[in-house]
Structure 1
Amino acid sequence: MEPSDVTPRLDTPWFDGVADTVVVSGPDALTYLHSQISQDIRELAPGEARWTFLLQPTGKIDVLARVIRTDHETFAFETDPGFGELLLARLDRFKIRVKAETALVAGPGPDAVTPEVERSRIEVGWPRMGAEIVPGETIPAETGVTLHAVDFRKGCYPGQELVERMDSRGATPPRALRRLDVAEGASPGEPIVDADGAEVGVLTSVSGTLALGYVKRGAEVGTVIDFR
């Protein structure tokens, strides 16, 4: 498998129009959300958006979402089709005596993602829930998007300890997301092998001869996904 030479970009609209959305509104919405997510949204103006993780206390990912501030007390969280209920459950998990309401607006479903849109996502290298991100298993540092989904200056939130520890120590995760060129007919779940034929990872998304997959630390295969 040869490295891909596609440069990562963040302007591909693969997410628009297909996301599941959870709306959080109320006088306590901002303070509650600030205590739960990896991103700092206090300075967001209405209409602005940022990416964020919602993590388990262990630091593993529950959901990757885009949060949009729609007005002073209302925020809309968008995530991949089919994961809205998980997002809603995670946002409700610690919502005790909080003056905020949550509501799920389901998108058109995973089948609404066209092959062209999926390929554009793979070209960019952005991880998808259920493919590159397995809830309860994947850690943020593996995905290559922590600099866009984590504010390392903000206060405590569930899972912060692992994220901060890896960043402060400059630790390299055991595996990293990479973009690869593959043979026609390859499919997710197939092993990734190096030049010597050793198995070093697994494919997670494939479109034609372009793919994403996780590769073990130290293996020289593919192009590391690292959004900066």
Structure 2
Amino acid sequence: MTEFTQRPGAVGDPVQHYGNPLGEQRALLSGDAIVDLSDRGIIRLSGPDRLTWLDSLTSQSIAGLAPGVSAETLLLSPNGRIEHVMRVVDDGETAWLLVDGDETEALAAWLDRMRFMLRVEVAVDTDYTTIGAFAPHPEVAAAPNGVALEWVDPWREVVTGGHQYSTSAEHPGAEWTYREIVVPKDADLSSFPAAGQLALEAVRIAAWRPRLATEVDDRSIPHELDWLRSAVHLNKGCYRGQETIAKVHNLGHPPRRLVMLHLDGSEGVLPGVGSEVLLGETVVGQVTSSALHYELGPVALAVVKRSVDPAADLVVRGDVDVAAAQETIVPTDAGAEASIPRLPRLGAVTRPR
């Protein structure tokens, strides 16, 4: 139980809403409200080798991360599947990893096993928690080593060394000013208006922003979710899963792709996570997250087969089937960026033109 759960109208722990989810979205995006993220975890990395060591293990180039600068990086399997996502901010003494709560202990244990003889210490933090916001709040941000711990989401633009598959002229992430702020667990936040996690989820979906806890399954690779945009550096040194990153990006295509679905709201039904997405009678994907957006109405993110025609009308199966129109995030031709000339077959005769 937190201070947020004691507020009038609070529903859930962590709080999902305070009685007005649509109004809370507006307050959140305007920068007026904050969101309780106490269900998420924090891992601290200390020691002089912390950044070069983490750089060698994960997808983003963070060896030279300056104090106060934010980054996002992925821990991949040897086959390039997404295993963990880390939101990183360093204060010059400690690297703070903000992670989804379910992965905190497992990720910390794995990192601890990988230290070997390097000067790195790994610890799960229990003194601090995080809040989400769309405006800076330096007055409450923790700064144990003199640098405010505010992670600013890089999703707003393509990071150096990254790549965007979306061809949208106006990417909805361009207006995404989201940040996560580390605060002491006993911080007095009662003067700040609050929004529930349903509000954050709705605006996240509208920004096409993937999240480990929702969009990722045991087959997910970053290309399918357009995550090279913010969490992968294509020109950095070797790391686990790099071969898959390079092969799919340069020579192949991701087998699935992320889409946003605009859902028919006439029945007042919002499909649940995991609901099957149908093209005709064929299952072509599943819903990963859904919400009622204050402007767009009922929307969802879904992962579908790459071959699905972007213009095709889909149906989401549930107690009541819901018609869905696609908005392309990852196009069908994503990948295969390398321009490799075709070589003539052995023994083939070539003629001058």
TM range (shorter): 0.7 to 0.9
Structure 2 residue aligned with 1:203 = 287
2:77 and 2:83 in contact (8 A); partners too: yes
What is the Cα deviation at residue 94 of structure 1?
Answer: 1.7
Q: 1: distance between equivalents of 2:112 and 2:272?
A: 35
1:83 and 1:129 in contact (8 A); partners too: no
What is the Cα deviation at residue 153 of structure 1?
Answer: 1.1
* CA RMSD between the two structures: 2.5
Q: 1: distance between equivalents of 2:76 and 2:95?
A: 18
Does the alignment pair 1:224 with 2:328?
Answer: yes
5+ residue gaps, structure 1, are 1-11
**Matched positions, count:** 209
Q: 1: distance between equivalents of 2:81 and 2:125?
A: 25
Q: 2: distance between equivalents of 1:17 and 1:101?
A: 28
1:63 and 1:86 in contact (8 A); partners too: no
User: Could you tell me which amino acid in structure 2 is paired with residue 139 of structure 1?
Assistant: I
Q: 2: distance between equivalents of 1:146 and 1:90?
A: 24
Q: 2: distance between equivalents of 1:78 and 1:113?
A: 19
- Match of 2:245, SS? helix
Compared with structure 1, are the counterparts of its residues 86 and 120 closer, same or farther at alpha carbon in structure 2 (3 Å cutoff)? farther
Pairing partner for 2:111 from 91, 101, 110: 91
Q: 2: distance between equivalents of 1:179 and 1:143?
A: 11
Structure 1 residue aligned with 2:17 = none
Pairing partner for 1:121 from 183, 204, 213: 204
Structure 2 residue aligned with 1:172 = 253
Bigger RCO of structures 1 and 2 (CA < 8 A, at least 6 apart)? 1
Compared with structure 1, are the counterparts of its residues 17 and 163 closer, same or farther at alpha carbon in structure 2 (3 Å cutoff)? farther
Structure 1 residue aligned with 2:225 = 143
Give CA deviations for 1:140-174 in whole Å, capped at 9, x if unaligned. 111111131111111111111111111221x2211
Give CA deviations for 1:4-60 in whole Å, capped at 9, x if unaligned. xxxxxxxx7999752422111102212211211111112321000111111111211
Moved over 6 A (4+): 12-16
Pairing partner for 2:274 from 173, 184, 189: 189
- Range with greater deviation from structure 2 (54-63 or 98-107): 98-107
2:272 and 2:289 in contact (8 A); partners too: yes
Does the alignment pair 1:212 with 2:212?
Answer: no
Compared with structure 1, are the counterparts of its residues 92 and 57 closer, same or farther at alpha carbon in structure 2 (3 Å cutoff)? farther
1:205 and 1:211 in contact (8 A); partners too: yes
Does the alignment pair 1:78 with 2:102?
Answer: no
1:118 and 1:207 in contact (8 A); partners too: yes
Given the two structures, how large is their TM-score scaled by the length of structure 1? 0.82
- Larger-Rg structure: 2
Q: 2: distance between equivalents of 1:153 and 1:15?
A: 36
Identity across the alignment (%): 33
What is the Cα deviation at residue 63 of structure 1?
Answer: 0.8
User: Could you tell me which amino acid in structure 1 is paired with residue 201 of structure 2?
Assistant: E
2:36 and 2:197 in contact (8 A); partners too: no
Pairing partner for 1:157 from 230, 239, 248: 239
Give CA deviations for 1:172-215 in whole Å, capped at 9, x if unaligned. 21111111112423111111123x44321111111132101101
1:166 and 1:172 in contact (8 A); partners too: yes
Q: 1: distance between equivalents of 2:48 and 2:273?
A: 44
User: Could you tell me which amino acid in structure 1 is paired with residue 300 of structure 2?
Assistant: A
Q: 2: distance between equivalents of 1:224 and 1:62?
A: 25
What is the Cα deviation at residue 128 of structure 1?
Answer: 1.9
Q: 2: distance between equivalents of 1:200 and 1:182?
A: 16
User: Could you tell me which amino acid in structure 1 is paired with residue 307 of structure 2?
Assistant: G
1:62 and 1:90 in contact (8 A); partners too: no
1:57 and 1:159 in contact (8 A); partners too: yes
- Match of 1:85, SS? helix
- Match of 1:148, SS? helix
User: Could you tell me which amino acid in structure 1 is paired with residue 204 of structure 2?
Assistant: R
Compared with structure 1, are the counterparts of its residues 175 and 223 closer, same or farther at alpha carbon in structure 2 (3 Å cutoff)? same
